[in-house]
Amino acid sequence: MFNFFQIPFYMLRAFLLTVALETLLALALGVRGKKNTAVVVLAQAVTNPPLVITLMLISMRCGFVFYCCCVAVLEIAAFLIEGAIYRSTLEYKKINPFLLSLILNVFSFSAGQVINYFVK
């Protein structure tokens, strides 16, 4: 049974994990400076909370196949939104902003799946 009182904990954990993983990878890929780092973090603040809460609600009400389809659609939307944010505000130009968004999102999603497998 899902505990509604744990929703803030799950959301905070997902947000902090995403921010940590994507920021560290962005730094490893050469994103530098306070402004650029802030853009990476703020892009997560825009996309992660709505994605997580929507997926939590869907997982409580719908079947697994529908949930998986929603994960794919919402992750693609997050990638596109973050790519647009990076394109319009990021000073980092070594990697196309949408490719950077794709790399960061695939990495954090994959790492999150592995971590969530071990931490329930």
Q: How many CB atoms sit inside 10 A of residue 78's CB?
A: 22
Torsion sign across C-alpha atoms 45, 50, 111, 26: negative
| % of the chain beyond a pLDDT of 70 | 97
CA distances from 113 to 42, 55, 57, 77, 80 (A): 22, 14, 18, 18, 21
> In this model, does residue 3 exceed pLDDT 80?
no
> Residue 43, Cα to own-chain centre: how many angstroms?
9
Which residue is associated with the tokens 């719908």? 62
Where is average pLDDT lowest: 3-7, 56-60, 62-66? 3-7
Let me know: does 19 contact 37? Beta carbons within 8 Å.
no
Q: Sketch the domain layout of the chain as residue ranges.
A: 4-118
Coil vs helix vs strand at 120:
coil
Q: What is the pTM of this model?
A: 0.90
Banded model confidence at residue 120, pLDDT cuts 50, 70, 90: low
pLDDT per residue as tens digits for the range 59-97? 888 899 999 999 999 999 999 999 999 999 999 989 999
State the alpha helices, DSSP H only, in 1-96. Answer: 7-28, 34-61, 64-89
pLDDT at res. 19:
97
Residue-wise pLDDT tens digits, 97-111: 999 999 999 999 999
C-beta atoms surrounding 88 within 10 Å: 9
